[in-house]
Amino acid sequence: MSGVLFDRIALIGIGLIGSSIARDAKALGLARNVVVSTRSAETLARAEELHLGTSYVASAAEAVDDADLVVVSVPVGASEAVAQQIASHLKPGAIVTDVGSTKASVIAQMAPHMPDGVHFIPGHPLAGTEKSGPDAGFEGLFRGRWCIFTPLPDTDPQALGKLKAFWTALGSRIDEMDPQHHDKVLAIVSHLPHIIAYNIVGTADDLETVTESEVIKYSASGFRDFTRLAASDPTMWRDVCLHNREAILEMLARFSEDLAYLQRAIRWGEGDKLFELFTRTRAVRRSIIEAGQDVDVPDFGRHALDKK
Ligand SMILES: NC(=O)C1=CN([C@@H]2O[C@H](COP(=O)(O)OP(=O)(O)OC[C@H]3O[C@@H](n4cnc5c(N)ncnc54)[C@H](O)[C@@H]3O)[C@@H](O)[C@H]2O)C=CC1
Ligand SMILES: O=C(O)C(=O)Cc1ccc(O)cc1
């Protein structure tokens, strides 16, 4: 038990991320009341069946009434619609945060709607899986994982401290950066890997010479890892691509150049170039492990994922 940090938390969106926050908040006793709201009546009913909150309302506006902390966990493209719905119902002094995978666009969509006296602090937990919906969440998802905040220049330090205390209670490691930098870093470490996965699985699926059953039958673990990422939520990833367009295109351009270098080395039999690159990339993996960052999804979620 970490103790009560907020009297009333409103969770807008109760999919993988929202429901994981709900499960942790309940297990750790971080709030007296957890109000759940989401767009579809079916998902809201499921959240209630799972006892994720203390009350359930269809309207986001009603959910944020009297809330001390509002966590928006919807696909990034829905951020402005949610901000518009909740804006005039937020209580003065409330903290509004989000968990979106892109930050500059979420800020552009939400900040203009936030009333004076409300603390809007964008955030992004670097934790998740390829699953979505309220059943996919689990307790401990954020443990040992980074949560990056991209506060606006005039952010109240006390409100930021309170939000950090919340994520620290969920077990996260906290970092801060500006939104543009966040979007560039995430483009290479998260967005491109997903795009590459969607692409390679799409290519394999299109191959006429390899039947679908062979793709399934002979899929080696490398390909299987790609299929996990490529099974991620289509709405969420469509929105990420559309809302981090510039940074993704910049990283894709560099990626394509480097791929052309690799392609050329293979064509001309330049084994030394291949060997040099593969040696360098192997060192990257070692550094990640040495830094204690090898807790990729399966470390805490594998058994949970395997069950689903
Ligand atoms: N899935 C992942 O691994 C991670 C996702 N994120 C970010 O978290 C956010 C939520 O993602 P997930 O929980 O994975 O998605 P999800 O698909 O599991 O859940 C999304 C929730 O948002 C609701 N929703 C959609 N449009 C809405 C609207 N207009 N108004 C109210 N509710 C709406 C849905 O009903 C659902 O409850 C996204 O912005 C995503 O980029 C961040 C870290 C990891
Ligand atoms: O499933 C995976 O491997 C992920 O990378 C999960 C993930 C998806 C999106 C994010 O913004 C952060 C984490």
Q: Is the CB of 15 under 6 A from ligand 1?
A: yes
Is residue 129 domain-shared with residue 198, that is, in the same domain? no
pLDDT in tens, 177-232: 999 999 999 999 999 999 999 999 999 888 867 676 777 778 878 899 999 999 99
Among the candidates 177, 209, 225, a domain finishes at 177
Query: Do 227 and 292 fall into the same domain?
Result: yes
Question: Could you give the residue ranges of the DSSP H alpha helices within the chain?
Answer: 16-28, 41-49, 60-64, 79-86, 104-110, 157-169, 179-186, 192-206, 212-217, 221-229, 234-243, 245-267, 271-290, 297-307
For the Cβ of 151 lying below 6 angstroms from any atom of ligand 1, the answer is no
Query: What percentage of the chain exceeds 90 in pLDDT?
Result: 85
**Ligand 1 contacts CB of residue 85 (under 6 A):** no
Return the number of other C-beta atoms located less than 10 Å from residue 108's C-beta: 13
- Based on the domain organization, do 24 and 150 belong to the same domain? yes
Mean pLDDT across 260-275: 98
Residues 156 and 42 in one domain: yes
Query: 70 with 93, same domain?
Result: yes
8: left (phi over 0), alpha (psi -120 to 50) or beta: beta
Ligand 2 site residues, Cβ closer than 6 angstroms:
101, 126-130, 190, 229, 297
Domains in the chain: how many in total? 2
Please tell me which residue, 176 or 289, carries the higher pLDDT value. 176
The ligand whose atoms approach the alpha carbon of 100 most closely is: 1
Taking the alpha carbons of 133, 138, 139, 140 in that order, is the dihedral positive or negative?
negative
Is the sign of the CA dihedral 152, 156, 159, 164 positive or negative?
Answer: positive
- Cα–Cα distance, 67 to 304 (Å, whole number): 32
Label residue 294 by pLDDT band (50, 70, 90). Answer: low
Flag whether 25 is in a domain.
Answer: yes
Query: CB of 248 within 8 A of CB of 187?
Result: yes
What CATH number did the domain enclosing 202 receive?
Answer: 1.10.3660.10
- Given this model, what pLDDT does residue 1 score? 52
Helix axes 179-186, 245-267, angle to 10 degrees: 30
Q: What predicted TM-score, i.e. pTM, was given to this entire model?
A: 0.94
- Residue 290, pLDDT > 90, answer no
Pick from 129, 238, 296 the residue to mutate for probing ligand 2's pocket: most ligand atoms within 8 Å of its CB.
129
Out of 199-208, 264-273, 279-288, the most confident range is: 264-273
Stretch 252-256: mean pLDDT: 98
Tell me, yes or no, whether 167 and 101 share the same domain.
yes
Distances (CA, A) of 99 to 72, 201, 263: 7, 27, 38
In a shared domain, residues 172 and 215? no
What is the structure's pLDDT at 306?
A: 33
15 and 144 share one domain: yes
> Hunting for tokens 């002979």 — which residue is that?
218
Tell whether 1 is covered by a domain.
Answer: no
How many angstroms does the Cα of residue 185 sit away from the middle of ligand 1?
A: 21
Last residue of a domain, one of 177, 196, 212: 177
Q: Rounded to an integer, what distance in angstroms lies between the CA atom of residue 148 and that of residue 99?
A: 9
What pLDDT, on the 0 to 100 scale, is given for residue 210? 67
DSSP state of 1: -
Which single residue is written with the structure tokens 């699985």? Answer: 201
Mean pLDDT for 259-282 is 97
Return the SS3 of 108. Answer: helix
Q: What is the pLDDT of residues 100-125, one digit of tens each?
A: 999 999 999 999 999 999 999 999 99
Domain limits for position 266: 181-306
pLDDT digits (tens, 9 = 90+) for 78-106: 999 999 999 999 999 999 999 999 999 99
Same domain, 96 and 133: yes
304 has pLDDT over 90: no
Domain finish residue from 177, 200, 232: 177
pLDDT score for 207: 82
Is the pLDDT score of 34 beyond 60?
yes
**Mean pLDDT of the region 51-60:** 98
Q: For residue 124, is it within any domain?
A: yes
Ligand 2 atom having least distance to the Cα of 228:
1
User: How far is residue 105's CA from residue 187's CA, in Å, rounded to a whole number?
Assistant: 13
